[in-house]
Amino acid sequence: MTDPRYTPLAQSLPATVPFVGPETQERQRGRPFSARLGANENVFGPSPRAIAAMQAATADIWMYGDPENHDLRAALALAHGTTPQNIVVGEGIDGLLGYLVRLLVGPGDTVVTSKGAYPTFNYHVSGFGGTLHEVPYVDDREDPASLFAKAAAVNAKLVYIANPDNPMGTWHKGAEIVAAMDALPDGCLLVLDEAYVECAPQGTAAPVDADDPRVIRMRTFSKVYGMAGARVGYGIAAPGLISAFNKVRNHFGMNRAAQAGALAALRDDDWLAHVRKEIAAARDRIARIARDNGLTPLPSATNFVAIDCGQDARFARAVLNQLIDRGLFVRMPFAAPQDRCIRISCGTASDLDALAKALPSALATARG
């Protein structure tokens, strides 16, 4: 009686998780967090219309969701001025990144990303046997020119850019990304993760032709739309690539209520404007709290703020742990030199009161 015969690749992988969830930490701590500011969730929540749509759809949850995501793709196509054939809907950007990597990357294939960028993308690349090449941030921003040069040098099949960036919150103008794409090597696909773009300044979304075969843009309902727990992401790309997802995706994988919620959320521009305002105000307050404590907030186009703690990773880690001890769920960048920072998601006024209260003593203890 022996164990299952895993593939050599599966055998080589660690059983890991890109992020430890706050619930896991709460179970380890033995008590809940008082403020949830670590996962870039949107505490301002989804449109009331989206909530109502999801609750109404619960009565129909005995039915599988539409595997074509027809209505949502039609609405997204309209919103983006393109066709449903340019849109793939999936179980969050995480799910779509997994499918995308699977379509392109096998053992020995090369992929380029920034050192310290989104670990779940790296998880998928490793998971399909790809080799990651990492390019450093420049001034805490991803560096498209260097990323594309590295992609050319290593013959990468895929290069990843998040704009705005996570975990730093920095950004490029969309037109700059498009201009930089002139140097994207032939046969290398750019995956442009725009998860946070709805709360970024005008002009951050890359003005890409949806039929451009060089790029797929990833969007989500998890951030500004406030539906992280629903799992709805989408990709915008040329029809050939969109159609390729049908070779590998979990066709009946979408939650039916989530489909309905996303559709309703997309139609509530007023709520989106409200959330944008709340996010902007919370960003300002986080920055103010940082400065009040002698720290340096980075400019942010996202729903979080990276705070430079002014010393090394060890110190930032100490500050982080002190905040966690004080009941605040927060995270920090994984790689140097960005790991001199901690990362605070936008919270309610009461969440940020708790941050303002905890930070001085957290810093004092970390220094002491």
Pairing of strands 35-36, 328-329: parallel
Task: Tell me which residues in 343-362 interact with a copy of itself (CB under 8 A).
Answer: none
**Whole-angstrom distance, CA of residue 319 vs CA of residue 364:** 9
314 binds a copy of itself (CB under 8 A): no
Q: Does the protein bind a copy of itself through residue 3 (CB under 8 A)? A: yes
Among 32, 61, 294, 312, binds a copy of itself (CB under 8 A): 61
The nearer residue to a copy of itself, 226 or 297, going by C-beta atoms, is 226
Tokens coding 200: 């970024």
CB of 83 to a copy of itself, least distance (A): 16
Residue 114 pairs with which residues in a beta bridge? 135
Residues 150-179, interacting with a copy of itself (CB under 8 A): 157-158
Question: Which residues 247-266 are close enough to bind a copy of itself by CB under 8 A?
Answer: 247-248, 250-258, 261
The window from 6-14, 80-88, 171-179, 319-327 that contacts a copy of itself (CB under 8 A) reads 6-14
- 174-233 positions binding a copy of itself, by CB under 8 A: 186-187, 189, 212-214, 222, 226-231
- Select from 33, 35, 37, 43 the one that contacts a copy of itself (CB under 8 A): 43
Sign of CA dihedral 128, 332, 90, 191: negative
Lookup result for tokens 């790809």? 130
Quickly count: other Cβ atoms within 10 Å of residue 187's Cβ: 11
Give the position of tokens 């989530």.
258
Is-contact 235 208, C-beta < 8 A? no
The CA distance from 366 to 352, in Å, is: 20
155/311 with CB nearer a copy of itself = 155
Which position among 4, 30, 81, 368 is part of the footprint of a copy of itself (CB under 8 A)? 4
- Min CB(97)–a copy of itself separation in Å: 9
CB of 36 to a copy of itself, least distance (A): 7
d(CA 159, CA 170): 18
> Nearest-CA neighbor of 229 among 39, 10, 57?
39
Nearer of residues 249 and 340 to a copy of itself, judged by Cβ: 249
